Amino acid sequence: MNKFHFLLLAFFLFAFSSCSLNHAKIDNNLKKYFDSSNVEGCFALLNNQMGNITVYNMKLDTQRLSTGTSFKIPETLIGIQTGKIINENSTLGNDSSGKNNPTLKEAFASSSISYFQSLAREIGKDTLKSWLDSLGYGNKKINGPVDSFWLNNELKISPDEQLGLMSKLYFDQLPFQKYAQEMVASIMLQEDDSLYKFSYTTGTGVDEKNDQIAWTLGWIEENRHIYFFVTYIKTPDESMDVKTTAVNISKSVLKALGFFKGEK
């Protein structure tokens, strides 16, 4: 699709890092998808064409929460912008066997902690802080070692802010080169067929209560219409695969809302 068809509308909708909730529709029917997986969480969906937002659990949606490994999104953009990453096949380290030296595309898909720790060290703390300030990313806190500050529950962002981040990334409206934004968007594409394009990524971590957390965030395109979404979950169950659970909840909710049929 022509991404710039919606660019002017997106500019006015997302003048700030978070989304306007003035037109939010609260949909408590979505609670059952979280309950059936025994997790607490929230979901937000933006219909970009109409500017309407559908939200389940507004309290969590507007609360700043631990980023976990979803921080890989701005970190990757910074890495590309600063020349530490050249393309999706860029690796870090000197493992000539390649077994422990994933490409950016592989590391991004798996949320490789070691890859993004190495990248953070190469970028440097001052540069990371400067870019987070420019980006207006969550609370912008960088406390602790340069290679782990996003894992210690200091850096936080709300699902609402994540939704705004997804929109700006899609429309190349972040303060990075267009090339950087297009590269990240391209490696987020998961499903592409004649009915829809489904792009998303994930992030996991542990919050202050030692609950497991997981994010799924991205967008779905149908009939030249773009919809952005964010799912956040948490659970005290240490045995749960929260990444898979968050993805499955996202897909179930989107399916319940009429997606994946090419009819939106």
Q: For the domain covering 3-256, report its CATH number.
A: 3.40.710.10
The pLDDT value recorded for residue 264 is 86
Residues 6+ apart with CB under 8 A from 258: 264
The pLDDT value recorded for residue 13 is 37
Measured between alpha carbons, how far is 151 from 67 in angstroms, rounded to an integer? 8
pLDDT band at 12 (very low <50, low <70, confident <90, very high): very low
Query: Using N-to-C axis directions, what is the helix angle for 159-170 and 72-81, rounded to 10°?
Result: 40
Question: What mean pLDDT comes out for the span 171-190?
Answer: 97
Measured between alpha carbons, how far is 74 from 77 in angstroms, rounded to an integer? 5
Place of tokens 């990240």: 184
pLDDT band at 19 (very low <50, low <70, confident <90, very high): low
Nearest by Cα to 197 from 207, 185, 205, 189: 189
Q: Which residues pair with 156 in a beta bridge?
A: 66
The pLDDT value recorded for residue 24 is 86
Measured between alpha carbons, how far is 18 from 191 in angstroms, rounded to an integer? 26
Report residue 109 as tokens: 């898909």
- CA-to-CA separations, 62 to 19, 20, 56, 58, 264, in angstroms, rounded: 10, 11, 11, 6, 27
The pLDDT value recorded for residue 92 is 85
The residues spanned by each domain of the chain are 3-256
